[in-house]
Each structure stands twice: as C-alpha cells, then as structure tokens.
Structure 1
Amino acid sequence: MVVITEAHIVYLIAIIVILVLMLFRKDVILPCILGILAVAIFQTKNILKSIEILYTAIFVSGRELWQVILIISLIIAMSRALDDIGADIILTKPFLRYLNTPNKSFWILGILMMLLSFFLWPSPAVGLIGAVLIAPVLKSGFDELSFASLLTIFGFGAALSGDFFIQGVPSVTAKTSRVSTSKLIISSLPIWAVTSFVTIIIFYFITMKKLKNKNNDQNNNNKNKNKKIFKESYVISIISVVFFIVDTFLMYILKIRGNAATALIGGTAVLILTASSIVQKDFLNKIREYLKSGFLSGIRTFAPIILVSAFFFLGELTTARQVIGPNAKGYLMDLGLYLSKHIPLNKYTVALMQLLVGGLTGLSGSGFSGLPLVGALAKTFSQTLNLNSAILASLGEIACIWIGGGTIIPWSVVPVTAIIKVDPDDIVKRNLLPVIIGLICGYVVTILLL
C-alpha cells in the first residue's frame, strides 16, 4: 500500500505551482530549485544534507542528458561550418528551378525543411533555408507569413516531434518513462504520422486559400551572392549528404538504435565539421570556434532543461534514490498510484491528461521542458492501469513539441522570425487551428492503440 508522506505533498504542491506558472508564461527554474530543496528537507529532515541533494539532483540530471546535449552541440557546430563554406547554397540550388508555383513551393520546401530538420535540427535548418531560398520562394507566389509558418509546421512541428535520427527529444522522454529510446520511437510512429499528416493537410488548404488571390510584388534581394564558395565545398556538400544517407541505411539494415544511432550521427557530424574547417584559412582556430559556438548554443538551450529535469527526475524511484538516497520514494509514481485508488482512471482520462500536461508545459515556449514530466507520468499511469507506457509517453511528447517546440507559442517561434521578418503572433494565428486538430487526431489514435 502506498503511504503518502509530507515529502509527497510538497512534491505535488511544487508540480501544481510549476504548471500554473507555465500557464501564465512564467519561467519555472526557481520553483524547480525550491521544489527539490523542499522535498529534500521534508524527506531527510536535514538542511545541510538537503543542500547537498540540490546539487546532486542537478548533477544526475546533467549526466542523464549529457549525450543529448553533446549530439545537438555537434550538429549545430557542423551546420555553421557548412554554412561558412557555402554548402547551404550548393545543397539548395537543385531545388530552385522547381520553385515556380505556390503549390510546388509548399511541398518542396516542406519536405526539404523536414529532412534537414531530421539531420540538422530545425533551428539550423531554418537559417539555411530561410536565408538562401526566401527570394525564389517569394517569386513563386508565397508571402513571408506563409513561408515562415510552413517552416515551423514542417520543422519545429513534424520533424522535431519525431526526431528519429538525432533522437534528442525521445531520449529525454525515455529517461523518465524508463523505456528504451528505440521502443519509444517505434511506439510513437502511428501517433506522430497521424498528427503530422492531419496538421500538414489542413495547413496546406489554409495556406493555398490565403495565397490564391494574393499580389506577390516583392523586393527580393539575394544576400548570398557575395558568400564565398570554395572549390572543395562541392565535394564536401556531396559527401555530407552521402554520409547521412549511408548512416540512415546502416541504422535500418544493422538495426542501430538509441545511443548507438546517436553516436553514429555524432561521429559523422564531427568528420563533416573537420572537413568543412580544413578548407578554410586558419582552420585550426576555425574548428575551435565552431565547436565553441555549437556547445554554447547547446548549453544555452539545455541549461534550463537540466534544472527542470532535476526536479521531475525525483518523481521516478530509480533516479530519486540516486539523488536522495535509499530512503527516497518515487514521489510522482506514488502519487499516481494513490490517485488511482481514489479517482477512477481509464485509458481515456489518462491519455487526455498526457495531452493536456504536454500542452500546458509547452506554454513555457520550450518543447523540451515538459518531456521529463510526461515521461514520468506515462510510467506512473502505465503501472497503475497496465497500459503501454511508451504509447502514453509518445502522446505527451508529441503534444509538448508541437505546442512548445515552435508552432503555436509566440515566444517559441523566435528562430523563424529572426530569419524571416514576420510578427510571431501572425504565425501562431496561422498555425493554431491545424495544430489543435492534428493533436486531437493524435489523441484518438492513442486511445485506439492503448
């Protein structure tokens, strides 16, 4: 029988405070820190020990997330090196001749953005596509708003919510849901596919309707004409594409999954980064600067996530004991089990809770911040109701990313508005209906799978 202690109550209060602050678009770092400290004090009754636990919680969280931070930092460093040698222009040039109508531009740009986001992540992909292709896209009949919204839907929505190759998103969720990353990805496929397909189709018809009678007199200045392209850039561009295609093929044939797949992509990124640096002057300093820039971006992105994860890792028994000691409880798991004894729970309400919690945490503007929570909740409810934890975690993960990752929260679409000068509120208004309908369809699929 589950016994609810003072520490459990404190943990629950902290979660409620965190969710309320997210709802009001406030940062949750401070309540997470105070929540860890408060739980530790009520559990150990020792202030000095609790201060030590605060540090240990952050350390354990950072250790759990380190591989995710590493791969993303290396990918960012590689993409900036490729950009500096003009590989972005070379890689997108073959598509220019086909960007002659809004309909063609929609699907070519969307699929290109999705593919690049799978391998480079959405933010670098936006920089590449937005800077290089904005002129021909506007000539084809698009406007800036439609272009910006398209990049968010295909990149920060569809691609990031899957993240099948870099696996940063599912790795974070898998840590607290205690399922393997590969199992989580496989379980998420039908939910991801339906959510993405429905959202994209609805968005397509809305966009085409908006563009139908639009006057597209645009001032198109190609800012990339003066970018220096090295003769070796063509070889490196081709090799980069080939390497990642081979990586994908090997992952499929050899069933390379999880950490091994991440390591393969990371090693490839380092090789391409090195080749892109060597062809430039002062390459010894160049490669250092690229790595520094990549890691600064990675740490800047994940520093708050480490703190948030540190708190939510206390909800899971294994990590809670690593942080507090053998007397620690799985606070969130225990609360879930307790509620299941007093509140009627079923697959419909539990899935709805995952969807709503994912959406609420996404209001912070960071799709990552809620991943530890939806993962931990999935594990709790799956044990309580004997449901598939990977499927539950997948729904919460997809909701977190689609809402907070950069589609319908104004302060989360900054990477796009920084490249394409569009009001973020306008992007959110354009994306809102397709994304909400897509997530509802994802919920229905989840119910059918449970």
Structure 2
Amino acid sequence: MGIELSAIHWIYLTFIVLIILFMLFRKDTSIICVIGIFAIALVATGSLSASISGIFNSFVFAIKELLPIILVISIIVSMSKSMLDTGINDVMITPFSKLIKSPNLAFWLIGILMMIISAFFWPSPAVALMGAVLLPVALRVGLPAIGVAIAMNLFGHGIALSGDYVIQAAPKLTADGAGIPVSHVIQASIPLVIVMGVVTTITAFYLLKRDMKLGKIKVEPIIPSTSSSEQKTLLSLTYQRIFALLIPFLFILDIVAMVLFKLQGDAATSLVGGTSITILLLIMLTGYKQKGFEKTTEYLIDGLKFGFQVFGPVIPIAAFFYLGGDGFHTMIGANLPKASQGIVNDLGGALASIVPISKELGAFTVAGVGVITGLDGSGFSGISLAGSIANLFSHAIGHGVATLTALGQIAAIWVGGGTIIPWALIPAAAICNVDAFELARRNLIPVILGLIVTTIVAIFLI
C-alpha cells in the first residue's frame, strides 16, 4: 500500500488536469504553472514569502536543468546560419541534387537527407540549409512544392525530432519527467520511431501520388529566396568545398566517439556543442578574417535569441513538473513525508492500489496526453508532462516506464513539433511557398494513422 495522499498531491494532480485543459483549448500554460508552483509551495511551507521565493527558485532549477540543451541548440543555430550565409550549405547539398531524377526519388532522397541533417542541426535550421537548394531540383523533376514540404516536414520535424538521438534534448526532458535515465528512453524509442516513421511517410507518399494522378496537385515553378550573393562570396569555392567535407567529417567523428566511449545525455550534447562552436569559429575567421571576432559574437547572439525563444515557454511548465520528481526540496525548501517517493510516484502507487490499470489503457492515455500537450505547437512544452504521466501509469501497471515515456514523447513531438499544428509548420511551408494549413491537412491522416499503429506496437512492447 502506498503513502496516503496529502493536499500537495491533490493540488499537483489538479494542476496537471488544468494544464492539459489549457493546452487542449490552445491557451498558454505559463500562468497556470506558476500558480500551481505557488499553491504547492504555500501548502508545503505555510509561508507566503517562501512560496513567492519558491516560484523563482523553481525557474532557476528548471533553467539549470535545461541550460545545456538551450545552449547547444543556440550554438547549432548560430553555426547553421553561418553555413547558410557563406554558401557552404549549397556546396554540401548540391551533389545530392544530381541523384534526383524523378518525383519519387526526390521525395525520398529529400526526406532522408532532411532526417540526417535534422539529427545534427535540428529541423528548422535544416529546412533553411536544404530547402533553397533542393526545392528547385524537385520542382524540375516533377515533385510539387507541397510534396517537398511534406517530405522535409515528416522526416525532419517528425522522425528526426521525435527520436532526437544526437542532441538528445527531447529524451532528456521526457526522461527527467519520468525520473529515468536518458539511455532508457532512447533505447525504448527506437522501434517506436521506426514504426511511426514508416507508417506516416508511406501513407503520405501514397496519398500525394494519388492526388497527383487525379490532378488535384499540380507542379508550379516556385523558387524560394536564397542568401545574397555577397554573403555567399565570403568564402571562395575552394574553402566552401573544404568546409563542406570537414563539417560532416567532424560530426561523424562525434558519432564514433559517442559509440566508442558510450557518451549519452549531457556528455553527448557537450561533444556536439563543442564541435559546433569550433566549426563556427573556423567559418567566421576564414570568411570574415579580421571582423571574425565581432561576427562570431553576432552569430552567437542570434543563436541564443532563437534558443530562448523556443525554450522560453518550456521553462515554466518544466519547473512545475520537476516538482513531481527529485526537485521538490531544492525548489520549495520543504520536504515531503518520509515515506514519499516523489509526488508522481506516490500518485502512481495510489492509482495502482485503487484501479486495476491495463497496459492498453496506459498506452492510449499516454499517447493521448502527448497529442494534447502538442496542441500548443511547441512539441517540447508538454513532454515533461508526458514523462510524468508515463511514470504514473507504469507504477500502476508495474512495468513499461521507458516504452510509455518514449510513446508520449513521440506523440507530443509529432503533433506539436511541426507536422499537424499549422503555426508550427511555418519554416517548411515558408521555404516551399505553400500554405501552412494545407500542409497540416496533408499530414493529418498519415500522422493519426501512424500514432494509432505506434501505440498498438507499444502495447506489445510494454
């Protein structure tokens, strides 16, 4: 029999429900999270001043936990922008354009390249790196712009981002929410990411080809805007080619090092971040010469703006959900009862003792929570919640925490990370000059079907 639930547990549970409802109605959750932290702190400490301080302390705790992720993404964006501005990305990707001879090859090659590049640069920068070069090639061989957008979107914002095996931002957040090691989430997510990716991309490709045959989609010569010629002549063609070979080589060395030295989580993130900084410095000093010092700071500032803009909404909700795990004492300055194993674990134990939960119900509930939390168009703001819910259900079921956590992560990111929420599709839609709502409509059936099949597979893996 688990610990008897206190007012703190019930307040936490109430605010989880409120957060889900706010996300369902597309309302921002920051204020609800702050009120939740304050309410829990007030009950735990009985002090108004300590409760107000607890809000700030919880934000500090969350930022400390998230800072490596925010920083590495900011650096990668800075590096990606420097590659785009100096023309290195053109040289890097142009050889692949020679392989594209048909609409079918265009769809799958663009998708696979997007997936690979997104694994290292994240999807939004990868869209900028790829779209300007490969879109005209795809249009020339008969693949419509909407087909290019679908391929980049599903492979980048879907497959690559939901697994996030290189940067490991997503599994870090969900693992923290579930209270398990990052490596467990990564391992459990591999078969689910494969199933989700195969089902969605094949379905989307079939529907695209069907509508092309029926004449519902026509190819139009849409040419995206590119960087100015002045920027692209910062480096000579020789240097562009050198960097086009050097950059993937350095990242391949990172992957080899991760495998050989078993680097995961923060260690892997640090390696990728350090490599990205090194590449940025080399590009800046080679391209801008004496002005390279000032330009390096300029690009880093741009990257940091992007990083905090993306993760700004995540900090309040992450702060709230860290309360459910090991951060309670540090954030609030008070202790839970001695028999407590953390708020989420206590709730899971209580649920197990009251209701016989099946793995089928647990899987569909966690997937549903992931979908709901993705409705805000972020994808990342709610994956801590998905991890917490997965932990709760795994305690009730008795096992399967890693699989449930991975399932929640995949559902949240596929929905909110940029495949079916229109305002999250803007990067891919903009570079391809297609309507974001049309792209969302095209992705809807493949993603829903993929989520259903992936959830069913997860049930067998729990």
* CA shift in 2, pair 1:325/1:86, >3 Å: same
C-alpha distance after superposition, 1:299-330 (max 9, x if no partner): 111111011100111122x1112212342363
Aligned-pair CA distance for 1:338: 2.0
| Alignment map for 1:127-138 (pairs within 5 Å) | 127-138=128-139
Q: Which residue of 2 aligns with 1:371?
A: 383
Could you tell me how far 1:144 is from its partner in structure 2?
2.0
Mapped pair 1:306 → 2:315: yes
Correspondence for 1:284: 293
Q: What is the SS of the residue equivalent to 1:405? A: helix
Decide which moves more: 326-335 or 220-229. Answer: 220-229
The answer to whether the aligner puts 1:393 opposite 2:405 as a matched pair is yes
User: Structure 2 residue aligned with 1:265, among 266, 269, 272?
Assistant: 272
**Runs of 5+ in structure 2 lacking a partner?**
none
Match of 1:426 in 2: 438
Deviation string, structure 1 residues 20-77 (Cα, Å, up to 9, x no partner): 1111111111111111111111222211110011111111111111111111111111
Identity of aligned residues (%): 38
* Cα distance in structure 2, aligned partners of 1:128 and 1:151: 11
The one-letter code matched in structure 2 to 1:353 is T
Structure 1 residue corresponding to 2:450, chosen from 432, 435, 438: 438
**Contact 1:2–1:338 (Cα < 8 Å) also in 2:** yes
Matching of residue 248 in structure 1 with residue 252 in structure 2: no
Whether contact under 8 Å (1:187, 1:394) holds in the other structure is yes
What is the aligned counterpart of 1:228 among 229, 232, 254?
A: 232
Deviations 1:138-196 (A, max 9, x none): 11212222221221101000110011111111111111222221221111111111111
1:34-433 to 2 correspondences below 5 Å:
34-212=35-213, 213=215, 214-220=217-223, 223=226, 226=229, 228-229=232-233, 230-231=235-236, 232-281=239-288, 282-316=291-325, 318-328=326-336, 330-433=342-445
| Structure 1 moving runs of 4+ over 6 Å | none
| CA RMSD across the alignment | 1.7
**Which sits farther off after the overlay, 140-149 or 301-310?**
140-149
Residues 141 and 211 in structure 1, CA contact (< 8 A), matched pair in contact too: no
Does the aligned pair in 2 maintain the 1:333–1:377 contact within 8 Å? no
- How far 1:252 moved relative to its partner? 2.1
TM-score (norm 2): 0.93
Q: Which structure 1 residue ranges, 5 or more long, are not aligned?
A: none
8 Å Cα contact 1:99/1:137 also seen in 2: yes
SS at 1:448 equivalent? helix
- Give me the whole-angstrom Cα distance separating, in 2, the residues matched to 1:386 and 1:336: 10
Query: Which stretch shifts more, 27-36 or 133-142?
Result: 133-142
Contact 2:158 2:197 in 1 (8 A): yes
After alignment, is 135-144 or 212-221 more displaced?
212-221
d(CA) in 2 for partners of 1:350 and 1:418?
38
The 3 A distance-change label for structure 1 pair 260 and 380 is same
- TM-score, normalised to structure 1, is 0.96
Residues 292/222 of structure 1: CA separation in 2 closer, same or farther (3 Å cut)? closer
Describe the SS at the equivalent of 1:406: helix
CA distance in 1 between partners of 2:443 and 2:328 (Å) = 39
> 1:222 Cα deviation (Å)?
6.9
The verdict on how the C-alpha distance between 1:86 and 1:384 changes in structure 2, with shifts beyond 3 A counting, is same
* Distance (whole Å) between structure 2 residues aligned to residue 173 and residue 217 of structure 1: 41
- Looking at structure 2, the residues matched to 149 and 194 of structure 1 have their Cα atoms a distance apart, in angstroms, of 18
Q: Which amino acid aligns with 1:313?
A: Y
> How many pairs does the alignment contain?
449
Is the contact between residue 102 and residue 208 of structure 1 (CA under 8 Å) also seen in structure 2?
no
Deviation at 1:420, TM superposition (A): 2.5
How far off its partner does 1:81 sit?
A: 1.1
The reply on whether 1:23 has 2:30 as its aligned counterpart is no
